[in-house]
Amino acid sequence: MTPGTRRTITGFSNPTVKALRALRDKKHRKREGRFLAEGLRLLTDARECGRLPETLVMATGRDPHPLLDALEADVLAAGGDVIETGVDILSKITGKDNPQAVAGVFAEFDTTLERIDRSAAPIWLVAQALRDPGNLGTMLRTADAVGAGGLILIDDCADPFSVEAVRASMGAVFTQAIAQARWDDFIAWLCGGPGSEQGGQLVAASLRDAVPYRGAAYAAPCFLLVGNESRGLPEEYEMACDLRVTMPMRGRADSLNAAVAGAVLAYEVLACLDPQ
């Protein structure tokens, strides 16, 4: 393999800077099949998961760190590029006034349902029409925390590879499987697609004919479905579930944030399936 190259960029108008900055736009990300991740912790998590950035961008004058040295060496050995540039240019690339000292460009992952191995974990998170990238990233982080297999995004959701979602995931975008599908395709896969002989319980947070979420009859692999932040789940989606559960609202609030609801349910399922 041909070693990568190292170079320094000093101008805002450099074509590479413009190309990297454009990755903050969804259309450009999809066209290029690339996304940005920022921060040594996220990039180290990616490296430990076997994913290296194709391009590593580092701020001049950064503090030395052995993890950054190891990351840089691996990127170059794998044929990737290393770019050094000023903090002001890095800020322009990432869109943050106080950017981390390092950012990386990664190839987007395969997000087809067919790559999901439902037997890989007892819990999976499923989100329908989730619009907030912060909630999406938080759900990925929750999935990692409870030992879930990943997050399946149903219908029109926020982009899991947006800068905001990747940042909110705290590195879980690299540890969790991510799939994207329409509802009909998901149900077909869950009920009769590849791997269907392993089964799968679909559980929704709901008010329709629901039982209390504490101690409900959860079964692995359990697919926890939460709906859109403002509208919740369509009725037909809820009625297609094997189990509908409800959480008590003791105060004036009539619902929980979608990502919070997913976390509460995930830990209850974890306690039931793995009570250690």
Give the model confidence (pLDDT) of 75-94 as tens digits.
999 999 999 999 999 999 98
Between CA 185 and CA 180 the distance in angstroms is 10
What does the domain layout of the chain look like in residue ranges? 6-107, 113-273
pLDDT above 90 covers a percentage of the chain that reads 78
pLDDT at residue number 195: 45
Q: What is the pLDDT, as a whole number, of residue 248?
A: 80
pLDDT of residue 230: 82
Query: Based on C-alpha coordinates, what's the Rg of the chain?
Result: 21
State how far the Cα of 225 lies from the Cα of 93, in Å rounded to an integer. 35
Among candidates 125, 273, 260, which has minimal Cα distance to 203? 125
Encode 178-196: b = buried (16+ Cβ within 10 Å), e = exposed: bbbbeeeebbebbeebebe
CA dist., res. 274 & res. 276, Å (int) = 6
The token pair that represents 38 in the structure block:
């920022």
Question: Fold for domain 113-273?
Answer: Alpha/beta knot (3.40.1280)
- Percent of the chain beyond pLDDT 70? 96
- What's the pLDDT tens digit per position in 47-84? 999 999 999 999 998 888 999 999 999 999 999 999 99
Q: Is the pLDDT confidence value at 275 over 80? A: no
Judge contact between 202 and 179, C-beta under 8 A.
no
Say yes or no to pLDDT of 197 above 80.
Answer: no
Question: What is the per-residue pLDDT for 68?
Answer: 94
Q: Which residues 6+ apart lie within 8 Å of 245 measured at CB?
A: 203, 204, 205, 206, 210, 211, 212, 213, 216, 265
More confident residue, 99 or 15: 15
pLDDT recorded at residue 138: 97
Place of tokens 């690299």: 174
Compute the mean pLDDT over every residue in the chain, rounded to the nearest whole number: 91
Assign a CATH topology to domain 6-107.
60s Ribosomal Protein L30; Chain: A; (3.30.1330)
Q: Which two tokens stand for residue 92?
A: 């322009």
CA dist 163 and 26 (Å) reads: 10
pTM of the predicted model over 0.85? yes
Tell me the pLDDT band of 1, cut-offs 50, 70 and 90: low
More confident residue, 168 or 231: 168
Tell me what pLDDT residue 58 has.
94
